[in-house]
Structures are given as C-alpha cells and as structure tokens.
Amino acid sequence: MAVYTDVDDEELIAFLAGYDLGALLSCKGIAEGVENSNYYLHTSAGSFILTLYEKRVAEADLPFFLGLMEHLSAKGLGCPQPVRDRAGAALGRLAGRPAAIVTFLDGYSVHHPEPAHCARLGEALAQLHLAGADFPLRRANALSVGGWRPLYAPFAARAGEVAEDLGAIVAAELETLERDWPSGLPEGVIHADLFPDNVFFLGDRVSGLIDFYFACVDSLAYDLAICLNAWCFDAAGAYDAEKGAALLSSYARARPLTEAEADAFPLLARGAALRFLLTRFVDWLNVPRGALVRPKDPREYLARLRFHKTIRSASDYGLRT
Amino acid sequence: MAVYTDVDDEELIAFLAGYDLGALLSCKGIAEGVENSNYYLHTSAGSFILTLYEKRVAEADLPFFLGLMEHLSAKGLGCPQPVRDRAGAALGRLAGRPAAIVTFLDGYSVHHPEPAHCARLGEALAQLHLAGADFPLRRANALSVGGWRPLYAPFAARAGEVAEDLGAIVAAELETLERDWPSGLPEGVIHADLFPDNVFFLGDRVSGLIDFYFACVDSLAYDLAICLNAWCFDAAGAYDAEKGAALLSSYARARPLTEAEADAFPLLARGAALRFLLTRFVDWLNVPRGALVRPKDPREYLARLRFHKTIRSASDYGLRT
C-alpha cells in the first residue's frame, strides 16, 4: 500500500455524478489495506471509503466481496456497506480500475490486544460466521492446503535464506497437512485475514470488521485458527493462554464447536501458521530492493508452527466448554 | 510520504486526553504532504488532521509555521487552524515526535488547472500576502539565492546524469542570479511552495491553502514567481500565456505590483525555476534504489528556466495593469 493511483478530480466528480452522494468535498489516499488503493471520501452526503482495486485482486471475485459486505451489513454486522450507484451497481470504474464506494466505519485498530479484546473478537467472528451462513455466493480459498505447495515450490530452494531449518520444516509440514487436513467440518463464509489491523474497536466494543478481500468459503474453525495465530501470541512469540482462552471460549459461547472441530483445531492452527509463514516468506524474498515498506518477518510464524505441534486438542489452548 | 509513523491507539488516546476534542473515533494515515506524516483524525468533536513532524522539518521552525496558520486563520484566510490543547499549547509530542492537530479543510486539488483556477489562485496568494503582513515572527528562506550554490555544489559533478548541458546552465545561472538578485522589494510572509497539491478548491472557489512548511519571510513577488512556474506551463513545458495573465492580473488587482517588482519579475521567475530545478535534481540523484516513489523530473524546470531567459518584463508574461 505504498503506491496509490492518483485520482483526477474531474474524473472523480464525473464518477460521483452517478451516485446520490451529493458534491465532492474531499478525497485523500489513506494507508489502509495492502491489496488496493483506498481513499477517505467526503461528500455532502457524509463520509465514505473509495476503493480502487489494483492488480492483486481478481476482478471476477469482486461481486463476491461486495455482495458479502452488503449481506453482512444487512444482517446488522458492523462492516463497510457498499453504496450502489443510481443504476443499482455496487461496482464501477474509475481511473481505469474497478472501483467501489463503501460507508465509512468509525473505530481504530488495537495495537496491543488484551484478553478482553480477544473475547470481543471471538464474539464478532462467531457473528460473522452466523450472519454469513445463508450468503449464496461461493469463492474457494486459494490459500488453503491445496494452495500452499504451489505457492512455496518456486522459492523452496531459497528457504535457507530465512532460517536454516525452514526448508526441512516446511517439507515435513506440507506432507503432514496434505495427508491429514480435515474434511467435512462445518463450512461457510470466513474472513480468512482477521488480523488486528482489520478489526475496529471503539473503546471496549468491536465497531466493525474491514478488508474482506481474502474472504471465501472454508471451514469456519479454520478462521478461528487464523485469529488464534494473529491475536494470541506475545511479541516474543510465546502463546498467551489467557488471550487464547478468551478468544476460543467467547467464540464457542456464540457458536459452539463440534467435537470434530475441537479435535481438528491443533491441525487447523498449524495450517494457519504455515499459510502465513509461506506468504510472508514469499513476500520477504520478493520485496523490491530499497523499498520503503518492510515485509513482515516470516519467522514469527515458524515459532507459532513449532508451538502448535506441541498441542493435542482445543482444550490445551484454553477452550472452556 | 511513503512512510508513516505508526501511531499506537493507546498513545493517541492519551494524547487526545490533553485536548477538548472528545473521544477518538478514527485515525488513518493519509497521502498528503511530503515532509511529515499526516492522519485523518475523527473525534466526537469533528474532523481534524494530525501531523507528526518527521526529521526533515526543523523543530525550531514549528512555532513559526503553527503561529502563521493561526494568524492567517484568525484573519479569515482558508487554511488549517491549529487546535490548542487544554494547556494552551498548539505543539505537542506523540510517538516520539513533535505533533500538532489542525482543523480539517474540505476541498481538493485540481489536477489540470484552467485559467479560471489561476485567477482564483492569484487572489488567494494576494490575500495570503496581505493577511501575513503583520505576522510578527520571522523565518529566513533557506532556499533563496544564498542557498542554491551550497545545495548544488556537492552534486555538481553529476549534473550530466540529468541533462548534458545542465552543469553549464546552472553554473551560468548561479553566477547571474547571485550578481543580479533584486533586493529591497516588498517583503512579507510567503508560502514558497504553492503548487496545485497545496491549493484546495470546492467547485470554482479556493477553499483553502495547506502545507505551510516552506513558509518564510521573503520578497512577495518571488512567491508569485513560484506560482507562475508551478501553475502556468502545460504538460509539454510550454508557457500558457492565458493562465499566466490570469494569475498575475488577478494577483495585481488585489495587491498591485510595484514598478520594481514588475521589472524584477523575469529574474525572480528564473530564480524560482532554478530553485525547483536544483531541489528536484538533488532528489533525483538521491532516490533510494527500488523506492516506490518516483522523483519529479528536474528537466521540467530546465525548460521553464530557458523560457524565462527570453522574457524582459512582467508584461511579457501577460500582466495587464
């Protein structure tokens, strides 16, 4: 997100003329989202976010993402609500790119989540899963077990550049996870990237979830495993059992885990750790020299992966049922 | 402006507690300004801009900049108005940096200025000069004639990397301008960087001026010469006499140029072109390899410089008095 498409004021005014949003008052590129260009948009009708979809997001997926946000908003979930133009379309075109306007969501990301934040996250995630249950569109998870080996293979020879034993660990892990990955768990819409950056709080409550551009249909418990990885380890990489217990237990109060989900949970957590380890590994190797954006350290997820391999069941993470 | 200081939510909430601005609702890094980190800040009291001053702005200059914005706002000029904290201070400290909150200004930059925009700019610039006349603080212009040679000298040997004749032209120009640079012209507060990015319009009117971080005390007509360079050449580098006439004449209606200013104007315009040629030249040589921000082309100002050398008086630019 270090690059923005520069939006011409005349083009933007012409684009806005297709909406019932009044006159343009202000439009500023904002530092939010990593895949797209986002702008704070102020018109005489209020505040919005304008998104221009850049190359990394497939245009064919946009109806899924925008439809999902609309579906979830209609169910009362706090998330950006796509604004339709006068012709009824949520997706338009601006500056040569697919473009959408969504409602502006107040709230801010929490930099140092406490157990109370993890508890609120668990509730919000369960609400997302329940609200998404009857969403009719489908999108496969390109970054689930079947996608990891093709992602990793072209760069496997360079694993040693990140950690001496990375190659051996990833090879063994791919073999195990491809063989044992659970099937038949309850499925539905998952966010698939619900890191602290993508959860807005106002004081102690969750005001909304953003950045649905990895959302897909997959095992619901896998989404919870992603959140466990993203929220419940301290800066040194140690598991915080209090945060983990808060997340899992508050999720399960709103949507109880099935026995199969609880049994599979350590493996799902390993898979989630591997998924972020691999994408970070590839980003790490492919950062442009001298770029001002520092890639995230893949080794954080190597440490998480090692931890998950010591766990036997969801209750070992602190799930109280 | 490709790098932002990441502002921790807890630190920000503690910082805001010193102001009468209510509760934090949202804070997002925005793509505005090149010297500092800027954030769109929404609180229960309204919309603001939070600025963290990064290394390129000298902390000792901040009272001048903030005092100037406060002075100009009080005179009714559209510009960001610093918000004082409960202790009466306009300058605070956040994330280890000097920090200030200013009012949010609606409006947007015009990408393709028309003569009518140049006319409005001329009026706004004259209003700025008139409103700044009794501002009591002083700040020298580090990027006026005395600053050009020290800026250029360390990189002079590399002039040929940008244009074959750049070295010869700059050497001759420095000699001429250092010898003939006018003194005794009417002085006062100048913006010194009033490019289209820094002028907000709402429809056909100027809603405000931003980014006062090059402001200083210097010849008023030099500020007008900077605007002429920044606004009145087309994309191919040709002078647009209609825009120039609109800018100069509308400025002069609000603040008539003295005879000395009109006589000196071609030389001031050459100086302004050289100033931006030199800073762009240095930035061009010093861009980090692989950086995602493309430096602006210094040669655009070489073309302007050549043009100004053909001009004998302000009326040749189209000034109608």
The Cα–Cα gap between B91 and B83 comes to: 9
Q: Do B89 and B28 sit in the same domain of this protein? A: yes
The number of distinct structural domains making up chain B is 2
Is residue B140 very low, low, confident or very high in pLDDT (cuts 50, 70, 90)?
very high
Residue B237 has a pLDDT of: 85
Q: How far is A27 from chain B (nearest CA, A)?
A: 7
Q: Do A283 and A188 sit in the same domain of this protein? A: yes
Tell me which residue range forms the domain holding B155.
Answer: 115-317
Residue B32 has a pLDDT of: 78
The Cα–Cα gap between B12 and B23 comes to: 11
| B112 neighbourhood in chain A, CB within 8 Å | 8, 10
pLDDT at B234 over 50: yes
Q: Answer whether A30 sits within 8 Å of B40, measured CB to CB.
A: yes
ipTM of the predicted assembly exceeds 0.95: no
Q: Do A70 and A168 sit in the same domain of this protein? A: no
CB–CB of A179/A270 below 8 Å? no
Q: Answer whether A290 sits within 8 Å of B291, measured CB to CB.
A: yes
The last residue of one of the domains, among A59, A82, A103, is A103
Q: How far is A111 from chain B (nearest CA, A)?
A: 6
Residue B17 lies in a domain: yes
Q: Do A133 and A95 sit in the same domain of this protein? A: no
Mutate to test the interface with A, among B40, B48, B114 (most CBs of A within 10 A): B40
Please check whether residue B164 touches A, CB under 8 A: no
Please check whether residue A17 touches B, CB under 8 A: no
Q: Answer whether A110 sits within 8 Å of B202, measured CB to CB.
A: no
Residue A2 lies in a domain: no
How confident is the model over B201-216, as pLDDT tens digits?
A: 999 999 999 999 999 9
Residue B293 has a pLDDT of: 59
Q: Which of A25, A85, A112 is nearest to B207 (CA)?
A: A25
Please check whether residue A116 touches B, CB under 8 A: no
Q: Answer whether B293 sits within 8 Å of A32, measured CB to CB.
A: no
Q: How far is A265 from chain B (nearest CA, A)?
A: 32
The Cα–Cα gap between A40 and A28 comes to: 5
| B4 neighbourhood in chain A, CB within 8 Å | 31
| B10 neighbourhood in chain A, CB within 8 Å | 111-112
The Cα–Cα gap between B41 and B27 comes to: 4
Residue B4 has a pLDDT of: 65
Residue B283 lies in a domain: yes
Sign of the torsion angle spanned by Cα atoms A80, A84, A85, A90 = positive
Residue A1 lies in a domain: no
Q: Do B297 and B160 sit in the same domain of this protein? A: yes
The Cα–Cα gap between B177 and B9 comes to: 50
Tokens 């140092």, located at residue = A112
How confident is the model over A25-77, as pLDDT tens digits?
A: 999 998 877 678 899 999 999 999 999 998 888 999 999 999 999 999 999 99
Which contiguous run of DSSP H or E holds residue A269?
A: helix A259-285
Q: How far is B199 from chain A (nearest CA, A)?
A: 12
Q: How far is B106 from chain A (nearest CA, A)?
A: 5
- Amino acid (1-letter code) at residue A9: D
Q: For residue B293, what is the domain's CATH number?
A: 3.90.1200.10
How confident is the model over B159-216, as pLDDT tens digits?
A: 999 999 999 999 999 999 999 999 999 999 999 999 999 999 999 999 999 999 999 9
Tokens 């510009």, located at residue = B79
Angle at which helices A220-231 and A241-254 cross, to 10°: 150
Q: Do A44 and A145 sit in the same domain of this protein? A: no
How many whole angstroms from its chain centre is CA A5? 23
Residue B110 lies in a domain: no
Please check whether residue A259 touches B, CB under 8 A: no
Q: Do B73 and B25 sit in the same domain of this protein? A: yes
Any residues with CB less than 8 A from the CB of B167 and at least 6 apart, and which? B156, B159, B160
Mutate to test the interface with B, among A25, A43, A51 (most CBs of B within 10 A): A25
How confident is the model over B248-279, as pLDDT tens digits?
A: 999 999 999 999 999 999 999 999 999 999 99
Please check whether residue A10 touches B, CB under 8 A: yes
The last residue of one of the domains, among B103, B127, B142, is B103
The last residue of one of the domains, among B103, B133, B168, is B103
Please check whether residue B133 touches A, CB under 8 A: no
The Cα–Cα gap between B127 and B72 comes to: 10
Q: Answer whether A108 sits within 8 Å of B290, measured CB to CB.
A: no
- Look at phi and psi of residue A273 and say left if phi exceeds 0, alpha if psi is from -120 to 50, else beta: alpha
Mutate to test the interface with A, among B36, B103, B106, B294 (most CBs of A within 10 A): B106
Q: For residue B94, what is the domain's CATH number?
A: 3.30.200.20
Q: Do B188 and B245 sit in the same domain of this protein? A: yes
Q: Do A99 and A121 sit in the same domain of this protein? A: no
Residue A249 lies in a domain: yes
The Cα–Cα gap between A276 and A302 comes to: 9
- Enter the tokens of residue B261: 């200013």
Q: How far is A292 from chain B (nearest CA, A)?
A: 6
Helices (H), chain B: 9-16, 62-74, 115-131, 145-152, 166-180, 220-231, 241-254, 259-285, 299-308
Any residues with CB less than 8 A from the CB of B236 and at least 6 apart, and which? none
pLDDT at B288 over 80: no
Any residues with CB less than 8 A from the CB of A65 and at least 6 apart, and which? A57, A212, A213, A215
| A4 neighbourhood in chain B, CB within 8 Å | 31
By Cβ distance, the residue of A8, A106, A112 closest to B111 is A8
Residue A77 lies in a domain: yes
Q: Do A127 and A95 sit in the same domain of this protein? A: no
Q: How far is B95 from chain A (nearest CA, A)?
A: 13
Residue B1 has a pLDDT of: 41
Residue B270 lies in a domain: yes
CB–CB of B124/B199 below 8 Å? yes
Q: Which of A47, A59, A45 is nearest to A17 (CA)?
A: A45
Q: Do B240 and B130 sit in the same domain of this protein? A: yes
Q: Tell me which residues of chain A have a pLDDT lower than 70.
A: 1-4, 34, 288-294, 321
Q: Do B180 and B303 sit in the same domain of this protein? A: yes
Q: Which of B16, B19, B144 is nearest to B85 (CA)?
A: B19
Please check whether residue A76 touches B, CB under 8 A: no
Beta carbons within 10 angstroms of residue A27's beta carbon: 21
Q: Answer whether B290 sits within 8 Å of A288, measured CB to CB.
A: yes
